[in-house]
Amino acid sequence: QVLLQESGPGLVKPSETLSLTCTVSGGSVSTSFFYWSWIRQPPGKRLEWIGHFYYSGSMVYNPSLESRATIAVDTSKNHFSLTLTSVTAADTAVYFCAMGLPPGFWGQGTLVTVSS
Amino acid sequence: IVLTQSPATLSLSPGERATLSCRASQSTTNYLAWYQQKPGQAPRLLIYDTSNRAAGIPARFSGSGSGADFTLTISSLDPEDFAVYYCQLRSDWPSTWTFGQGTRVEIK
């Protein structure tokens, strides 16, 4: 059973950078054929895919966020991360990390609020 | 590609049949998934590749469709099925993902 856990600041100031980490247990981020993703959900709104990568290290991003989002992998720590630059109130959301294609394993999600 | 789900809200009683629609703005792949989400929880994968049930999903959930029109059917609603349901499409190339806006299934 793969378990994922998001962590990071719950409050970020406008124009600053949001940084989150997803720690994986029960599986390896370097395992072949697995997709690892970040998805977010603004309060009361639909889910929004941010981006994902798979074992070859290829990253794919939502075109609407590509200029601000970066996903990185640390195989030594078995975790992957998300950074989102120049945040605004519109980036306030619950951020999920997930695994699978489509994602069948999800973290519990972490709320990030953008506010001064 | 834009996914539009209908209806926005479905009011039904336990034991009734639920039919949820997901329409794509153009004909697309069959990489269509359905999720169930309850308040404060992460989404739960129900169906993948249009019609395949994920592990542990009851047989009352079924998916169908092709082209641009897809359907999730819950044959007989259990009290635990009242939730929001999202469809999600994976495009072939580039491998981008899109979610619908959700259908809320509520108790009548």
Q: Note the pLDDT tens digit of each residue in A36-49.
A: 999 999 999 999 99
Per-residue HEC secondary structure of B57-93 comes to CCCCEEEEEECCEEEEEECCCCHHHCCEEEEEEECCC
pLDDT tier, A32 (very low <50, low <70, confident <90, very high otherwise)? low
As averages over each run of 10 residues, the pLDDT of chain B (108 residues) reads 96 97 93 96 97 97 96 97 97 85 96
With CB atoms and an 8 Å threshold, state whether B45 touches A103: yes
User: Quick one: DSSP state of residue A90?
Assistant: G
* Contacts with A46 from chain B: Cβ below 8 Å: 86, 99-102
* Contacts with B48 from chain A: Cβ below 8 Å: 102, 104
**What confidence score (pLDDT) does residue B51 get?**
97
Tokens in use for B99? 């979610």
Between B54, B94, B99, which is nearest A47 by CB?
B99
Q: Is the minimum CB–CB distance between A46 and chain B shorter than 8 Å?
A: yes
Most confidently modeled range among A13-22, A54-63, A72-81: A13-22
Quote the percentage of chain A above a pLDDT of 70. 97
**What confidence score (pLDDT) does residue A34 get?**
83
Between B33, B42, B55, which is nearest A107 by CB?
B42
* Contacts with A104 from chain B: Cβ below 8 Å: 45, 48, 54-55
Residue A56: pLDDT over 70: no
**What confidence score (pLDDT) does residue A28 get?**
86
